[in-house]
Amino acid sequence: MNRAGGSRARWTGKPARVGASGGASINYREALVWLYSLQRFGIKLGLENIERLLDECCSGVCVKRPALAAARASTFKVIHVAGTNGKGSVCAMIDSICRANGYRTGLFTSPHLVTFRERIRVSGDMISEDAVAHGLTTIRNLVANWDPHPTFFEVVTALALKHFLDAKVEIVILETGLGGRLDATNAIQSDVSVITPIDFDHEKWLGKTISEIAAEKAGIIKPGVPVVSASQRPEAEEVIRARAAKCGAPIQFVAELYGETPIALGGSHQKENAALAIAALRAAKIDVGNSAIAQGLTHIEWPARFQRWDERTIIDGAHNPAAVRALAETWREMFGDQRAALVLAILSDKDLRGICEALAPISEFVLLPKIRSERAADPEELARVLANITPPLPYSITQSVDEALALARAKPNLILITGSFHFAGEVIAHLRGEPASFEECAQ
């Protein structure tokens, strides 16, 4: 890899003077209002629009342009990560290790917790408000008359790639948004495909069985590109192996746990994630030393992953039964038989009963606050679930996060705040004393 960078088309960040808006430049807030308005287009799984968008503004990154992609590969490498749980942690570990080794990195993850800018980072620094405004102005003017119009995630993916090109990064780490095969990130040529543990989530979009979900996740595997996978259920492993064989892609399943040095993120599952991250770097032929691995894993910062806010309070974004089971296991590793004052909010399209049943063994009682997200399950619905599990859990419905935290702090128990990343972000903003913003509400 050419660590000094190479020649490439430059994107000035200046808004184009075309389009339905008349080409007027917009500020950060206006840019995000426009971006979130794209949620009306919903989720459209498919690559045609994102390929067109990348061709227009990110020359040389698209799978459909192999000659240009080959030129891109001499400038930076791409690590593409899919899976059900652990994607964000693996991406953050890879990023932290690479930065410890002196590489200039671009990290693209979702969702964000408090501010949109968290999704796009260069060498650990969030994209600036000005860069968001300039980039979205350009894209808005470019796509004003497109039919079909690009979706929220397609636009954000293009914004991230252009920011990375401008920043002359050496390594790009991409987390899929939903699935893999038809996810916008899959339009980008990668140097290694990484698959974290696959389990049930987003069944509406990805399928009702593990095999169907695995087929969507394994869709990130590309011809001849090495694959690194976590240990999987047998039916998922079978699908992944078949896809790799069809693509002529060398494949490695990582079964061991990393235990050489401490990891800043708690839980045995993070040792599995660390081993997967290191294997991905090796497969992509990215040179990192043992000292950089140790430093990167020791100093990684990745909020809402069993985050110790204070001596009594843990915040975790677990949002499906598999993630919650890992959370409960980590709780027992850390606190033994101590039971939590559980502050819980879950999105309505999730497996409410499965999540509650997985949390029950570590919970003393549950507080159910009303939160800002329109996608959140009604506390009354969660209350009915809690009343019907065995054994039923005592609960209280509160009118706000502040009231729930006050009630939790009045008891001697440790406090566990969990159920979704949206909720974790709302709580973190509250605990920081930051005012609510439209972008938090619109996640």
Q: Measure the CA angle with vertex 77, ends 73 and 80; round to 5°.
A: 120
Q: Measure the CA angle with vertex 383, ends 381 and 385; round to 5°.
A: 75
Same domain, 280 and 404: no
Residue 136 lies in a domain: no
Same domain, 173 and 79: yes
Residue 372 lies in a domain: yes
What total of structural domains would you count in the chain? Answer: 2
In the numeric block, which tokens belong to residue 261? 């040095």
- Considering 298, 317, 346, which residue would you say is the last residue of a domain? 298
**Alpha-helix runs per DSSP H in 103-151:** 129-143
Nearest Cα to 169, choosing from 61, 241, 305, 309? 61
Q: By mean pLDDT, which of 17-31, 82-96, 113-127, 367-381 is the weakest?
A: 17-31
pLDDT of residue 11: 33
Same domain, 293 and 312: no
Q: For 309-313, what is the mean pLDDT?
A: 97
pLDDT tens per residue across span 149-183: 999 999 999 999 999 999 999 999 999 999 999 99
Question: pLDDT band for position 75 (50/70/90)?
Answer: confident
Question: pLDDT band for position 434 (50/70/90)?
Answer: confident
Residue 24 lies in a domain: no
DSSP strand pairing (307-308 vs 313-315): antiparallel
Same domain, 213 and 67: yes
pLDDT of residue 439: 57
pLDDT tens per residue across span 414-426: 999 999 999 999 9
pLDDT of residue 60: 62
Asked if the model's pLDDT at residue 246 lies above 90, the reply is yes
Burial (Cβ within 10 Å: 0-12, 13-18, ≥19) of residue 259: exposed
Task: Tell me the one-letter amino acid at 4.
Answer: A
pLDDT of residue 61: 72
Neighbours of 112 (CB within 10 A): 18
* Backbone phi and psi for residue 103, each to the nearest 5 degrees, phi listed first: -80, 155
In the numeric block, which tokens belong to residue 190? 């990668």
Residue 205 lies in a domain: yes
Q: Which domain range does residue 167 map to?
A: 59-124+163-298
Asked if the model's pLDDT at residue 443 lies above 50, the reply is no
Q: For 308-312, what is the mean pLDDT?
A: 97
Cα–Cα distance measured from residue 133 to residue 19, given in angstroms and rounded to the nearest whole number: 16
301: left (phi over 0), alpha (psi -120 to 50) or beta: beta
pLDDT of residue 300: 97
Asked if the model's pLDDT at residue 266 lies above 90, the reply is yes
- pTM for the predicted model, two decimal places: 0.91
Neighbours of 302 (CB within 10 A): 18
Same domain, 346 and 291: no
Contact at 8 Å (CB) between 392 and 386? Answer: yes
| The dihedral formed by the CA atoms of 186, 188, 191 and 195, expressed in degrees to the nearest 10 | -20
Same domain, 312 and 235: no
Point out which residues pair with 365 in neighbouring strands: 341
Cα–Cα distance measured from residue 329 to residue 299, given in angstroms and rounded to the nearest whole number: 23
Residue 392 lies in a domain: yes
Nearest Cα to 120, choosing from 57, 163, 176, 76? 163
Cα–Cα distance measured from residue 117 to residue 236, given in angstroms and rounded to the nearest whole number: 34
Residue 168 lies in a domain: yes
Residue 71 lies in a domain: yes
Same domain, 405 and 349: yes
pLDDT of residue 268: 95
Same domain, 180 and 245: yes
Say which CATH number the domain at 389 has: 3.90.190.20
Same domain, 67 and 92: yes
